[in-house]
Amino acid sequence: MREDGVRAQRRERTRQALLREGRRLFAERGYGEVGLAEIVQAAGVTKGALYHHFTGKAELFRAVLEESQQEVGRRVAAAADAHGDPWTRLTAGCQEFLTATADPEIQRIMLVEGPAVLGWSQWRAMDEANSTRHLADALTALVDAGVIAPQPVAPLVHLLSGAMNEAALWLASASSDPDDLASTRAALGRLLEVLRTG
């Protein structure tokens, strides 16, 4: 293998180690409680290596958040794509979102630390780029097929997205217990069913 290929692999391994350890530490203790020195020590790299990939802790966190959002997006897409019927695709995708975000690591990074660290506007922009577009596409297809009554899709997307994010936040709270995921999934199923025509 050529020398530049070896260096590229080494750089990618370093980047992945920083993302992995950053994610673990941010999920365990929160962004504000984790220092750069701790991240680089856990990843087994130098601060210089971190700065080669990221401008600092905030950019590393943003990359960790984006990776988490993409992971949830892949899980939602896989659950939806397992079905041929457009309605079942929507409901399976929405249900998988709740299941995926019940993971404490995902909850902390995506729903608690994300808005706090990046600010609401930046977090919303990332959320829209990673998930809202897919929900809009699914709902548009269902409206076009007559499965959902004709209506503007944008308000519906934001209502459903907001409801699911809020449910995920509640599931992450200390006041919820392990049985609440099943109850929340059932409630989401009933809520979605109301949208169907006939």
pLDDT tens-place string over residues 98-137: 999 988 899 899 989 999 999 989 988 888 887 788 899 9
pTM (global) more than 0.75: yes
Q: How far apart, in Å, do the first and last CA atoms of the chain sit?
A: 63
For 196, phi then psi, to 5°, come to -70, 140
Residue 12 and residue 188: Cα distance in Å, rounded? 40
The answer to whether residue 1 scores a pLDDT higher than 70 is: no
Domains of the chain: 1-54 (1.10.10), 62-195 (1.10.357.10)
Per-residue CA distances from 169 to 15, 62, 107, 114, 190 (Å): 29, 19, 7, 12, 19
14-18, 21-25, 80-84, 168-172: least confidently modelled range = 168-172
Q: How far is CA 92 from CA 66, 80, 96, 135, in A?
A: 22, 5, 6, 12
Report the C-alpha gap between 103 and 15 in whole angstroms. Answer: 24
